[in-house]
Amino acid sequence: MARVTVEDCVDKVPNRFDLVLLAAQRAREISGGAELTIDRDRDKNPVVALREIA
């Protein structure tokens, strides 16, 4: 499991506040049954969302 930090995601979403909103929305989509674009590796939904963004 690769560790994801905010710095890994800031390249794609420069505003940290927008990043949090985007990751939270994606985590809710994942919990609602949306298809994953990466392997879960037993990570929780917010971590998966951040890994997808990074």
Per-residue pLDDT tens over the stretch 1-48 = 567 778 889 899 999 999 999 999 999 999 999 999 999 889 999 999
pLDDT of amino acid 2: 62
Q: How many domains are contained in the chain?
A: 1
Q: Which domain holds residue 13?
A: 6-53
pLDDT at residue number 4: 77
pTM: 0.86
Which pLDDT value is given to residue 6? 81
Q: Is residue 33 part of a domain?
A: yes
Q: Is residue 20 part of a domain?
A: yes
Q: Name the burial class of residue 33, with classes exposed (0-12), middle (13-18) and buried (19+) by CB atoms within 10 angstroms of its CB.
A: exposed
Per the domain annotation, does 17 fall within a domain?
yes
Output the domain CATH number for residue 36.
3.90.940.10
In a domain, 1, yes or no: no
pLDDT at 8: 87
